[in-house]
Structure 1
Amino acid sequence: MAASPYKKREPNIREQVYGMLRQDIALGKIGFDVRLVDNEIASSLNVSRMPVREALLQLKNEGMLDSTSRGFVLKVYTPQDIEDIFSVRLLLEPAAARFACQNQSAMGLLAMEHAVARIEATHQQGDPLDNIQANWSFRSAWINMVPNKQLVDTMERLHDRADQARIACLQDADFRLGTLQRAQGICQAFRQRQADEAAALIHENLLICSAAYCVKQAELLA
């Protein structure tokens, strides 16, 4: 069979910087007290300033950063903001989970199962950053099986808006255990190809997380 003339394009510097910053935000490595300055980031990465600036502006346009007189900082969301964001996620993600379950692959299911094992291991270790990364891997595993990429793009833009509250919640062992149990239930629904059950469990998880994050965000801002 002839090789395809189309090759996957390697991400350019802006895309690489954007991906790195977005992941650091999602994992809680960038806090509210951190100021992101384009020339400082460019110097640390040994790249030019312009692609870093463009990556920061993209994150600002997506609602993850605010600009200041000197650099960028994490956007501060109120509990009401978080509730509003989750109300949109509730409209999108259960339906996406149903599509993913119907469209699942053996490789995708295996990725979900591996992620659940990581969630359990990091729950036992008690590290919220490792645990949030494991939960992120689990979410990515089922979302990667959603056939509608426009839906995926929309969901991804909403996911990282409550990261500080999420990390604070995951410091609590009971909350981590509940997260693990819900991930196990979702994985089981996928394994049995119960699309409606998968959608219902995603809906339940979003409701629980929304309530917990709103309470925690109010405490963080107090």
Structure 2
Amino acid sequence: MSTEKSPPKAKAVKKPRANPISRMRRERGSDVFQTLRDMAISYQLKPGERLSEIELAARLGVSRTPVREALARLVTEGFLEPCTRGYMRRPLQVQDVLDMYEARMAVERECLRYAVERASQTQIDEMQSFLDKSRAAAPGTAVRELVEFDEAFHNRIAQMSGNGELARMLGNLNERVRFIRWIDMEKVGRDSTQKEHGAIADAIARRDNQAAAQLMDEHIALRREQIVEAVTQGLARIFLADELA
């Protein structure tokens, strides 16, 4: 008879239980960040306005901690900047908007170049289907929804590039110029935008990098005088809304 002992059984490792309080705090923090980011995008946080953690926390009905964390993130994303004893909404200035459009054009060019090289036929077909759907939007569609369609088209190209970092950079730039694009879309209208999207999509389908790049540059470029006009209109809307309230 063998006297060898069986090796001891390994003890099962218990997985740590998810802490519901921690999860609730994370979710609340995410909600606070999203709310404040939306307020920054639409300039409910006024250009140059100093932000109070206490006032924002009371306004949102939360503690100061998620507000403080959200404000710090909004600095890194370019919506806010540090000031004495806190943060303020970055001013709406012509040069800043011009810089963002130049940066957006550079990122879009790279996204497009890679998309022409890497996009699968399935992705190209899906892009065409998306354009058909956006063209079918009812007349009188709200400007904000038209801008959403436009951003979605450009985001598709970024995804087709296969480069997640470029897609992330484009997403941030789109959010930061969205307010100006709402104003610009009112003048440009959907017909012009849809035609330009269709031409870009056709160039991608043909794998014609040169034509696609030229069409994209013409599509997203704004002259300095256009930016001056859009910023002027934007500032009037932001501050006139308070006077009319």
TM-score (norm 1): 0.72
Q: Which residue of 2 aligns with 1:150?
A: 165
**Displacement of 1:25:** 5.6
> Where in structure 2 are there 5+ consecutive unaligned residues?
1-22, 237-245
Structure 1: distance between partners of 2:46 and 2:136: 30
Alignment match of 1:132 (pick from 125, 133, 147): 147
Q: What is the CA RMSD across the aligned residues, in angstroms?
A: 3.5
1:53-132 equivalence runs, <5 A: 53-65=68-80, 74-122=89-137, 124-132=139-147
**1:31 partner amino acid:** Q
**Which is worse superposed, 92-101 or 104-113?**
104-113
Give 1:177's match in structure 2, choosing from 164, 177, 191.
191
Which structure is larger by alpha-carbon Rg, 1 or 2?
2
The reply to whether residue 207 of structure 1 matches residue 243 of structure 2 is no
After superposition, the C-alpha distances for 1:153-209 in whole angstroms (9 at most, x for unaligned) are 33333222222221112223x433222211111112222222322222211112147
More relative contact order in 1 or in 2 (CA 8 Å, sep 6+)? 1
Give the partner amino acid of 1:86: Y
**1:65-108 deviations in whole A, cap 9, x for unaligned?**
35789997753321221112222223332122111121113443
Partner AA of 2:175 in structure 1 = D
Aligned-residue offset at 1:124: 2.3
Q: Give the distance between the partners of 1:40 and 1:113, measured in 2 at CA.
A: 47
Q: Output the amino acid matched with 2:194.
A: L
2:212 to 158, 177, 198: 198
Q: Which residue of 2 aligns with 1:3?
A: none
Alpha-carbon separation, structure 1, partners of 2:155 and 2:58 = 31
Using the alignment, how far apart are the partners of 1:207 and 1:23 within structure 2? 25
Aligned length: 206
1:186 aligned onto 2:200: yes
TM-score by length of 2: 0.66
